[in-house]
């Protein structure tokens, strides 16, 4: 057995059971006496659910589909899992369900999954979520949940104190996989940076991006684990530390100057590994030259055998790990237990399964580092032994996870060190937007977008269009006054006219070209609910004009709102603008604008 690099976090390898929070069978008898008819209805629902899922049929659910069943005998456990891990996790869930295990009282042990971003796991776990356990990509989300839970419960923190076990939101945490955060680069780019002869870190990436204006690299926004962990690594590097990052060290001027210099070379930010893999599949070598992600992305991409290889560059200054914990939501609001004794039994059984030999081997083959130290990463057949794109002996330096308070400080300070943004919101307010709640939903989404943009160095402009360009609001800084002014402008929008989409896009583009702000991320976010029918420009002419302009890069995101949009045209606009196209409706447009805001 070889000695492997591991995350320093010491989570237990198996779950424990908290007897103090369990619902007793005496309670169950009371429920039966008081509500026999209601309980029979619930049991009928359980039978239907078991018929739908038992025998291994476990489709990965999307947010909001899962339903908590309150019957005291219920043994179905719903787990919220990070989107990037979801496909592998769901495979393990199916295999667990196929065992057809039962609780001591004969109830089928079943696990279901709901894919959810960790930030939302935390937010929903502070209330009454539809899931009973969470599997984020990093334990930093567990720490954040406990900190916010303690504050919500009115806990008073004293120096050196910890949250009493009986008051914690989570219970029985375990770690089932790990993956270090790396700089991922195409092999040709990695060699240009000095790999494999020299260590590569943030300094080399910054130098390359500064000297070569065509070099494109990115790390996700800090509401993704890989983005936040990479940002923490930058702050560590700026402070010249590998352990014990403090609030004072993180906010020292030399540290801030270092981080700002690195961040100034980022092409744009964005989402986590799930979206990165989608863009790799769609764009291949045309995607970014380098980006930050978990090491697993390198293995997963190279296993597909599509074109040039990716290489994992382990930052020379040190890095942190995505440690993939699983935790039970033990204590609910008002001290209530949100899980039944049988759900706790299912959690214990599933925890034992995913830390067992079979599941650990499958996690290894998927590109994750297993927590089973008996598995040799360098053994024949291991994806870590298949070449030099990843190195199981790395990283040489593992950084210490800072305290929750320091992490919060870094998240807040990042808004003042990140690359600033100039973004034009191009909004369709043609007559069709008067239908139903389209316009109010869009206005709420736009205001939510402004709320997400927290840096007062960011600037936002707005172009409203119908039969032509109806209103142009120049870029204004999102300080207190600018945010209030832009909110008032959004609330005053009205719906009328046809759809001069292409003319409006060009109007925003030429404004940013004239700005030629090479220090900022320059972007256009376009929304329409209909088909182009009033522009002077054609799509081909727009593309030609884009190609003729030079200066600061401008990325274009497009949103199709409703069922009548021209998907092909919006896809083409996003493609020639180097961005993405997304579909939306009244329900998810606010969330979509929130997601797009993470790119800035």
The percent of residues above 90 in pLDDT, for the chain, comes to 77
Is 12 a domain residue? Answer: no
Domain that holds residue 83: 19-178+323-370
Both 337 and 483 in one domain: the answer is: no
The per-residue pLDDT for 494 is 95
**Contact (Cβ atoms closer than 8 angstroms) between residue 372 and residue 214:** no
Range list of β-strands (E), 268-357: 290-294, 310-313, 321-322, 325-329
The answer to which of 105-109, 381-385, 509-513, 562-566 has the lowest mean pLDDT is 562-566
The per-residue pLDDT for 155 is 54
* 366 CB-near residues (< 8 Å, 6+ apart): 88, 296, 299, 300
Burial category of 256 from C-beta neighbours within 10 Å (exposed 0-12, middle 13-18, buried 19 and up): middle
The per-residue pLDDT for 39 is 32
Both 295 and 307 in one domain: the answer is: yes
The per-residue pLDDT for 430 is 97
The per-residue pLDDT for 331 is 65
Is 547 a domain residue? Answer: yes
Confidence class of residue 152 from pLDDT cuts 50, 70 and 90? confident
Number of structural domains, the chain?
3
The per-residue pLDDT for 128 is 86
Looking at residues 313-341, what average pLDDT do you find?
Answer: 86
Cα 291 from Cα 186, distance rounded (Å): 10
Is 1 a domain residue? Answer: no
The per-residue pLDDT for 355 is 98
Both 432 and 573 in one domain: the answer is: yes
Q: Which residue has the higher pLDDT, 7 or 166?
A: 166
Helices (H) and strands (E) in the chain, counts: 21, 17
Query: Can you say how many angstroms the Cα of residue 130 is from the centroid of all Cα atoms in its chain?
Result: 20
Average pLDDT of every residue of the chain: 87
* Pairing of the two strands 217-218 and 421-428: unpaired
Looking at residues 321-331, what average pLDDT do you find?
Answer: 93
Confidence class of residue 337 from pLDDT cuts 50, 70 and 90? low
The answer to which of 165-179, 323-337, 403-417, 458-472 has the lowest mean pLDDT is 323-337
Confidence class of residue 585 from pLDDT cuts 50, 70 and 90? confident
Q: Which residue has the higher pLDDT, 225 or 550?
A: 225
Both 312 and 335 in one domain: the answer is: no
Biggest CA pair distance of the chain: 78
Both 475 and 566 in one domain: the answer is: yes
Over the stretch 69-102, which tens digit does the pLDDT of each residue have?
457 789 999 999 999 999 999 999 999 999 999 9
Query: Can you say how many angstroms the Cα of residue 402 is from the centroid of all Cα atoms in its chain?
Result: 20
Is 565 a domain residue? Answer: yes
The CATH number that applies at residue 224 is 3.40.190.10
Both 392 and 329 in one domain: the answer is: no
Both 498 and 365 in one domain: the answer is: no
DSSP-derived secondary structure for 29-69: HHHHHH-HHHHHHHHHHHHHHHHHHTTT--PPBPTT-----
Both 310 and 257 in one domain: the answer is: yes
Both 489 and 555 in one domain: the answer is: yes
Q: Which residue has the higher pLDDT, 414 or 35?
A: 414
Is 94 a domain residue? Answer: yes
Both 256 and 206 in one domain: the answer is: yes
Cβ-based neighbour number of residue 415 at 10 Å = 15
Q: Which residue has the higher pLDDT, 330 or 33?
A: 330
Helices 438-452 & 589-597 angle (0-180, nearest 10): 20
Confidence class of residue 37 from pLDDT cuts 50, 70 and 90? very low
Is 519 a domain residue? Answer: yes
Cα 457 from Cα 451, distance rounded (Å): 14
Q: String of b and e for 192-230 (b: at least 16 CB within 10 Å)?
A: ebebeeebbbbbbbbebbeeeeebbbbbbbbbbbbbbbb
The residue from 335, 370, 405 where one domain ends is: 370
Is 8 a domain residue? Answer: no
177 pLDDT more than 90: yes
Give the pTM: 0.85
Best CA proximity match to 111, nearest among 371, 339, 323, 325: 339
The answer to which of 165-174, 221-230, 311-320, 349-358 has the lowest mean pLDDT is 165-174
Best CA proximity match to 241, nearest among 46, 353, 400, 387: 400
Over the stretch 115-125, which tens digit does the pLDDT of each residue have?
999 999 999 99
Best CA proximity match to 94, nearest among 113, 117, 116: 113
Cα 43 from Cα 32, distance rounded (Å): 11
Both 202 and 87 in one domain: the answer is: no
The CATH number that applies at residue 516 is 3.40.50.410
Is 7 a domain residue? Answer: no
The per-residue pLDDT for 35 is 38
Over the stretch 242-272, which tens digit does the pLDDT of each residue have?
999 999 999 999 999 999 999 999 999 999 9
The per-residue pLDDT for 463 is 98
Both 450 and 517 in one domain: the answer is: yes
The residue from 305, 339, 370 where one domain ends is: 370
């Amino acid at each position: 057995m070889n000695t492997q690099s591991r995350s320093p976090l010491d989570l237990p390898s198996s779950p424990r059971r908290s007897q103090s929070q369990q619902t007793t069978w005496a309670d169950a008898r009371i429920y039966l006496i008081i509500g026999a008819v209601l309980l029979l209805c619930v049991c009928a629902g359980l039978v239907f659910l078991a018929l739908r899922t038992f025998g291994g049929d476990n489709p990965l659910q999307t947010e909001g589909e899962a339903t908590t069943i309150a019957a005291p005998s219920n043994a179905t456990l719903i787990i919220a899992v990070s989107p990037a891990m979801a496909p592998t996790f769901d495979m393990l869930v199916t295999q667990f369900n196929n065992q057809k295990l039962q609780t001591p009282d004969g109830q089928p042990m079943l696990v279901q999954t709901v894919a959810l971003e960790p930030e939302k796991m935390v937010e929903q776990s502070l209330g009454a979520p539809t899931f009973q356990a969470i599997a984020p990509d990093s334990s930093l989300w567990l720490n954040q949940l406990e900190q916010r839970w303690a504050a919500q419960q009115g806990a008073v923190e004293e120096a050196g104190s910890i949250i009493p076990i009986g008051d914690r939101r989570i219970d029985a945490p375990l770690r089932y996989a790990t993956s270090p955060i790396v700089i991922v680069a195409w092999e040709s780019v990695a060699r240009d940076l000095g790999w494999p002869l020299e260590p590569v870190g943030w300094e080399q990436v910054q130098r390359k991006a500064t000297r070569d204006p065509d070099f494109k690299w990115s790390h996700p926004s800090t509401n993704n684990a890989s983005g936040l962990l990479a940002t923490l690594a930058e702050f560590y590097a700026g402070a010249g530390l590998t352990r014990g990052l403090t609030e004072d060290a993180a906010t020292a001027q030399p540290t801030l100057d270092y981080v700002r210099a690195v961040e100034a070379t980022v092409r744009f930010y964005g989402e986590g590994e799930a979206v990165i893999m989608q863009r790799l599949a769609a764009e291949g070598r045309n995607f970014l030259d380098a980006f930050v992600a978990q090491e697993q992305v390198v293995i997963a991409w190279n296993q597909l055998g599509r074109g040039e290889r990716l290489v994992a560059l382990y930052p020379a200054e040190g890095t942190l790990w995505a440690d993939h914990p699983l935790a039970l939501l033990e204590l609910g609001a008002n001290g209530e237990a949100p899980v039944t004794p049988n759900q706790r039994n299912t959690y214990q059984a599933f925890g034992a399964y995913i830390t067992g030999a079979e599941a650990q081997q499958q996690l290894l083959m998927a590109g994750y580092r297993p927590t089973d130290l008996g598995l040799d990463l360098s053994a024949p057949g291991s994806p870590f032994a298949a070449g030099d794109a990843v190195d199981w002996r790395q990283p040489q330096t593992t950084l210490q996870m800072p305290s929750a308070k320091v992490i919060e400080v870094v998240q807040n300070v990042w808004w003042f060190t990140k690359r600033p943004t100039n973004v034009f919101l191009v909004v369709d307010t043609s007559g069709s937007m008067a239908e139903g709640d389209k316009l109010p939903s869009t206005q709420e989404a736009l205001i939510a977008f402004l709320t997400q943009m927290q840096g007062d160095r960011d600037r936002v402009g707005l172009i409203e269009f119908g039969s032509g360009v109806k209103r142009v609001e120049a870029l204004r800084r999102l300080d207190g006054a600018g945010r209030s002014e832009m909110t008032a402008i959004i609330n005053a929008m009205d719906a009328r006219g046809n759809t001069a989409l292409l003319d409006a896009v060009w109007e925003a583009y030429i404004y940013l070209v004239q700005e030629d702000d090479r220090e900022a991320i320059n972007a256009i976010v376009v929304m329409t609910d209909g088909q182009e029918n009033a522009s002077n420009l054609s799509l081909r002419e727009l593309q030609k004009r884009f190609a003729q302009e030079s200066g600061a890069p401008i990325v274009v995101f497009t949103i199709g709102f409703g069922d009548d949009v021209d998907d092909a045209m919006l896809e083409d606009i996003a493609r020639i603008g180097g961005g993405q196209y997304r579909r939306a409706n009244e329900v998810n447009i606010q969330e979509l604008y929130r997601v797009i805001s993470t790119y800035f």
